[in-house]
A and B are shown apart, each in its own frame.
Chain A
Amino acid sequence: MVEKIIIENLCIDYGGVHALKNVSLSVKEHEILGIIGPANSGKTSFLRALNRLNDLDLSSHLSGSIYLNGKEINREMDAEEVRKKVTMVFALPIPLPMSIFDNVAYGPRRHGTKDRKRLAEIVEKSLKAGFLWDEVKDRLSSSAMKLSGGQQQRLCIARTLAVEPEVILYDEPCSGLDPISTAKVEDAMRELKSRYTQILVTNNVKQAARVGDRVAFFLMGELVEIDEANRIFTAPKDKRTNDYLTGRFG
């Protein structure tokens, strides 16, 4: 498979406090890479570096290289260009305070799609891909804030799909959801595999096992191990991975 993202010697610190130390790994096209690790292991910093959301934190400092399709994202691309191709679904669902339709149409509209019919098509397609269409098709003009938590999170996925990204990052997308909503979000992720590269940060080791093709284990800002999901869960090479997976800490 083609390597979609290549990360070389990535280091991040926030005002001198190291969050990530010398991480090198690559993400293959159309795979789901699960990232696990205890709190403060640098998972979220890693994810936010991939679409340059770390730029917003003025105290953050980054070194190393991140290549998307062979282009270095910090030196050879605009932040907007990166974020359009590498979108992000956050831990808590963040619907914008507008209607369901407007939420999904928000990205395409800002990127210049004005035609109503075209927008309607994009919204329908995205909501279907996000497994939400059947639940909301009759009330697209009602407020997105009235949806349940799980629906809101799938709306956020649909919203990111509407800008036609290449990579989707998930930052613990199910941390606030019940098991049934979680299952629906996971279904959506599996369904999206054929078209998108996905990176899933999760606190839930079992979730990484359920949906991840490969899994990376982060600890204290270092990448301890990255391997095929079935191998890392059955025969981890590093003792620390084994300890974490068996619940000795974390």
Chain B
Amino acid sequence: MKIRAKSHLKISTQTQQKIAFTFLGIASILVIVPVIVIFVILIQKGLPAINWQFLTAMPRMGMRAGGIFPAIMGTLYLVSGTIVVALPLGVLAAIYLVEYARQNFLTRMIEVAIVNLAGVPSVVYGLFGMGLFVIYLKLGVSIIAGALTLAIMILPVIITSSKEALQSVPRSFREASLALGVSKWQTICCVVLPNALPGILTGTILGISRAAGETAPILFTVAAFYLPRLPKSIFDQCMALPYHLYVLSTQVPNVNPKIQYGTALVLVGIVFLLNLVAIIVRSHIRSKKQW
């Protein structure tokens, strides 16, 4: 009975397929449209602002003229600091979780915690960083406080991708090494890590590119509103591109939109460059992968 009831709605499988393909195609195109629009607008409006002076000069006249050099450098400092903290911590944690931890309640809790950390809004990280590093640990509003905050934010990304990279190294490699009387730690260092390195690097770079673009975590921990000089130590404040862009767009009246778009283009350019490096590393390794 049911079959007969449905039969008057019958569309030929070919038509069904065509409809499905159409929707799938539209969905895919919709995904890339915003990317293209953003790039086109940024390049169209921002490119004229970009010249050597814009990239290497200090801002002048309340940021309405001059360059964005301190913001670029500030972002680079923050990114480097974040790597220095997050990469070793994340990789070591991943090694422990994959190679040593037994499957028990504690391990599962850690894994759940990592997944949940990845979903915490970045502004919460910012407030947490201010509370812990700036106020409680008395680091002040400084590069180190900002880098630590960003590092905590991208730790889940690094741990998750490192874990996947480690798990993708075949178990047989480990056994072949262990069967020669090689210790577990040596096996990890000499067989597992070298083969997992590309995956770990890719994940790290993606995490870093996220850190480079975030505003909220650095808002209360490091970013200076206007600081037309370079920081002298890691305990200094610094400017950073995302925050500088926010300031230009909302806090400073009468800014030439060219400068705003130029700043946005530089920021997107840096993030894009980092992603590109990740893609190149990954494809290079994949072509060399031998198993």
Q: Which residues of A contact B (CB under 8 A)?
A: 51, 53, 56, 58, 80-85, 87-88, 90, 92, 94, 96-97, 106-107, 110-111, 143, 145, 156, 159-160, 163
- Chain B 160-185 near chain A by CB (<8 Å), digits 1 or 0: 00000000000011011111111100
List the B side residues contacting A81 at CB < 8 Å: 181
List the A side residues contacting B102 at CB < 8 Å: 58
Interface pair A51/B179, CB less than 8 Å apart: yes
Q: Shortest CB–CB separation between residue B131 and chain A, in angstroms? A: 40
> Can you list 21 A-B pairs, Cβ within 8 angstroms, ordered by A?
A53-B178, A56-B175, A80-B181, A80-B182, A80-B183, A82-B181, A83-B182, A84-B181, A87-B180, A96-B173, A96-B176, A96-B191, A97-B173, A97-B291, A110-B177, A110-B180, A110-B183, A145-B290, A156-B176, A159-B180, A160-B180
* Chain B residue nearest to A95 in the complex (CB): B176
Contact with A56, one of B178, B183, B186, B289 (Cβ below 8 angstroms) = B178
Tell me the bound Cα distance from A106 to B176 in angstroms: 11
A97-B289, A145-B290 given; 14 more Cβ-contact pairs under 8 Å = A80-B181, A83-B180, A84-B180, A94-B173, A94-B175, A96-B173, A96-B191, A97-B290, A106-B190, A110-B182, A110-B183, A110-B190, A160-B179, A160-B180
List the A side residues contacting B215 at CB < 8 Å: none
Name, among A92, A96, A106, A156, the residue most crowded by chain B CB atoms within 10 Å (CB to CB). A96
Interface pair A143/B180, CB less than 8 Å apart: no
Q: A92-B172, A110-B186 are known contacts. Are A83 and B290 too (CB-CB below 8 A)? A: no
Q: Does B149 contact A (CB under 8 A)?
A: no
Q: Does B260 contact A (CB under 8 A)?
A: no
Interface pair A83/B178, CB less than 8 Å apart: yes
Q: Which residues of B contact A (CB under 8 A)?
A: 102, 172-173, 175-183, 186, 190-191, 195, 289-291
List the B side residues contacting A56 at CB < 8 Å: 175, 178
List the A side residues contacting B175 at CB < 8 Å: 53, 56, 90, 94
List the A side residues contacting B183 at CB < 8 Å: 80, 110
Tell me the bound Cα distance from A53 to B178 in angstroms: 8
List the B side residues contacting A53 at CB < 8 Å: 175, 178-179
* Chain B residue nearest to A91 in the complex (CB): B172
List the B side residues contacting A88 at CB < 8 Å: 179
* Chain B residue nearest to A81 in the complex (CB): B181
Q: Shortest CB–CB separation between residue A102 and chain B, in angstroms? A: 10
Interface pair A83/B172, CB less than 8 Å apart: no
Q: A97-B290, A106-B190, A143-B290 are known contacts. Are A87 and B179 too (CB-CB below 8 A)? A: yes
Q: Shortest CB–CB separation between residue A175 and chain B, in angstroms? A: 14
List the B side residues contacting A96 at CB < 8 Å: 173, 176-177, 191
List the A side residues contacting B190 at CB < 8 Å: 106, 110
Interface pair B172/A163, CB less than 8 Å apart: no
Interface pair A107/B182, CB less than 8 Å apart: yes
Contact with A107, one of B173, B180, B195, B289 (Cβ below 8 angstroms) = B180
Tell me the bound Cα distance from A159 to B182 in angstroms: 12
Top 8 closest pairs, chain A to chain B, by CB: A84-B181, A83-B181, A145-B290, A107-B180, A88-B179, A94-B176, A110-B182, A97-B290
Q: Shortest CB–CB separation between residue A195 and chain B, in angstroms? A: 17
* Chain B residue nearest to A52 in the complex (CB): B178
Q: Shortest CB–CB separation between residue B285 and chain A, in angstroms? A: 11
List the B side residues contacting A51 at CB < 8 Å: 179
List the A side residues contacting B191 at CB < 8 Å: 96
Tell me the bound Cα distance from A97 to B180 in angstroms: 16
List the B side residues contacting A80 at CB < 8 Å: 181-183
Tell me the bound Cα distance from A84 to B178 in angstroms: 9
Tell me the bound Cα distance from A88 to B173 in angstroms: 13
Interface pair B180/A90, CB less than 8 Å apart: no
* Chain B residue nearest to A85 in the complex (CB): B181
Q: Shortest CB–CB separation between residue A36 and chain B, in angstroms? A: 22
Q: A96-B191, A110-B190, A145-B291 are known contacts. Are A90 and B181 too (CB-CB below 8 A)? A: no
Q: Shortest CB–CB separation between residue B107 and chain A, in angstroms? A: 12
List the B side residues contacting A143 at CB < 8 Å: 290
List the B side residues contacting A90 at CB < 8 Å: 172, 175-176, 179
Tell me the bound Cα distance from A160 to B181 in angstroms: 10
* Chain A residue nearest to B189 in the complex (CB): A110
Tell me the bound Cα distance from A85 to B176 in angstroms: 14
Tell me the bound Cα distance from A156 to B179 in angstroms: 11
Interface pair A111/B290, CB less than 8 Å apart: no
Tell me the bound Cα distance from A163 to B182 in angstroms: 10
Tell me the bound Cα distance from A58 to B102 in angstroms: 8
Q: Shortest CB–CB separation between residue A184 and chain B, in angstroms? A: 20
Q: Shortest CB–CB separation between residue B248 and chain A, in angstroms? A: 50
